[in-house]
């Protein structure tokens, strides 16, 4: 169990899930574009945290997309079994489950990852691979950005100057701005239902039988969406789901799609009647269990169930 967050673990030190370690997202990505670090650096990071390719890793965060960013990069590296806690720290805290303070016991380094890194290179696309998807009838390049970002009102970031969108990309929704993902969350922060997400994407012709690649501004929102889709969060989604970040630099030719292309511009703060986020139903919600296992939302204890 590992908590992921950006920067020093100030909140982690005050309270975290018992036994959980901590990963700073700066260990897996770097400035100026916040792309993943080199494969050699990934190998060193995984060794430091005692992680092999066959280690089961459960990640959570104060922000779900921080954990998802680390999870997606671990999968790329070759960790076979990476899981997210639905709703992250807030879900654990709201359930009144045990917590602890301070740093956990030292982790024994694991220098032998067991396979060459990356073991799953298909989970990261470069610029030319992403561009090629735009010319395929069986593929979608999907923008996980807010509607204002998608139509070119704002870049979404103070340090990204270009505004607009990749020509031919489809809008996969996100949230109210570059730091929120309300379109994928219930009010309590857990994932919306698989059916809800699939219906949202169908409006933009993002379909389960396609090869779909997600991108956002720096990769965090795309990674969270990738993890939901990979966990069957949108029906029988292609195993080729890929997260890529643009940061204004991946595909230089950008334009603002016409307003008429909106189809149905559903966002958490500007949704038509009947399109608001669904409320939790009390059902168990599952996130990313690769081999038929399901991580159940905490209800007094954390456990796994065969799916």
The full 3-state SS of the chain, as one line of letters, equals CEEEECCCCHHHHHCECCCCEEEEHHHCEECCCCEECCHHHHHHHHHHCCCCCCCEEEEEECCHHHHHHHHHHHHHHCCCEEEECCCHHHHHHHCCCCCECCCCCCCCCCCCCCCCCCCCHHHCCCHHHHHHHCCCCCEEEEECCCHHHHCCCCCCCCCCCCCCEECCCEECCCCCCCCCCHHHECCCCCECCHHHHHHHHHCCCCCCCCEEEEEECCCHHHHHHHHHHHCCECECCCCCCEEEECCCCCCCCEECCCHHHHCCCCCCCCCCCCCCCCCCCCCCCCCCCCCCEEECCCCCCCCEEEC
Cα-atom radius of gyration of the chain, to the nearest Å? Answer: 19
The answer to whether 116 and 59 are in contact (CB under 8 A) is no
pLDDT of residue 243: 55
CA distance 284 to 299: 9
Among candidate residues 144, 216, 227, 286, the one labeled active-site is 216
pLDDT of residue 280: 27
Q: Which residues contact 22 (CB under 8 A, 6 or more apart)?
A: 2, 3, 4, 5, 9, 12, 16, 103
- Residue numbers in the chain where pLDDT is lower than 70: 232-307
pLDDT of residue 215: 93
pLDDT of residue 24: 96
Q: Which residues pair with 69 in a beta bridge?
A: none
> For the chain, what are the domain ranges?
2-120+283-306, 125-262
pLDDT of residue 106: 87
295: closest CA among 67, 95, 82, 120?
82
CA distance 183 to 166: 21
The answer to whether 172 and 225 are in contact (CB under 8 A) is yes
pLDDT of residue 159: 79
The answer to whether 145 and 174 are in contact (CB under 8 A) is yes
pLDDT of residue 118: 97
Task: Decide whether 2-120+283-306 matches 125-262 in CATH topology.
Answer: yes
Question: Does residue 256 have an active-site annotation?
Answer: no
Report the predicted TM-score, pTM, of the whole model to 2 decimal places. Answer: 0.79
Structural class in CATH, domain 125-262 = alpha beta
- CATH number of the 2-120+283-306 domain: 3.40.250.10
């Amino acid at each position: 169990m590992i908590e992921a967050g950006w920067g020093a673990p100030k909140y982690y030190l005050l309270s975290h899930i018992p036994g959980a370690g901590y990963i700073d997202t700066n260990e897996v990505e770097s400035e100026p574009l916040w792309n993943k670090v080199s494969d050699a650096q990934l190998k060193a990071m995984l060794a430091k945290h005692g992680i092999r390719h066959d280690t089961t890793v459960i990640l959570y965060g104060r922000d779900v997309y921080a954990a998802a960013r680390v999870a997606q990069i671990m999968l790329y590296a070759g960790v076979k079994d990476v899981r997210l806690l639905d709703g992250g720290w807030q879900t654990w805290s709201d359930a009144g489950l045990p917590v602890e303070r301070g740093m956990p016991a030292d982790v024994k380094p694991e220098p032998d990852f067991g396979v060459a890194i990356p073991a799953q290179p298909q989970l990261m696309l470069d610029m030319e691979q992403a561009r090629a998807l735009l010319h395929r009838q069986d593929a979608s390049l999907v923008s996980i950005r807010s509607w204002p970002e998608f139509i070119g009102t704002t870049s979404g970031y103070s340090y990204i100057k270009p505004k607009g969108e990749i020509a031919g990309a489809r809008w996969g929704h996100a949230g109210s701005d570059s730091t929120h993902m309300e379109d994928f969350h219930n009010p309590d922060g857990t994932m919306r239902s698989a059916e809800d997400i699939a219906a949202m994407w169908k409006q933009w012709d993002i379909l389960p039988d396609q090869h779909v690649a997600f991108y956002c501004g720096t990769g965090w929102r795309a990674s969270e969406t990738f993890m939901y889709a990979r966990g069957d969060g949108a029906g029988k989604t292609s195993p080729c789901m890929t997260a890529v970040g643009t940061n204004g630099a991946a595909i230089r030719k950008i334009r603002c799609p016409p307003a008429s292309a909106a189809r149905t511009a559903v966002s958490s703060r500007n949704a038509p009647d009947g399109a608001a986020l669904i409320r939790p139903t009390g059902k168990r919600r599952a996130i990313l269990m690769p081999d038929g296992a399901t991580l159940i939302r905490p209800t007094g204890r954390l456990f796994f169930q065969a799916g």
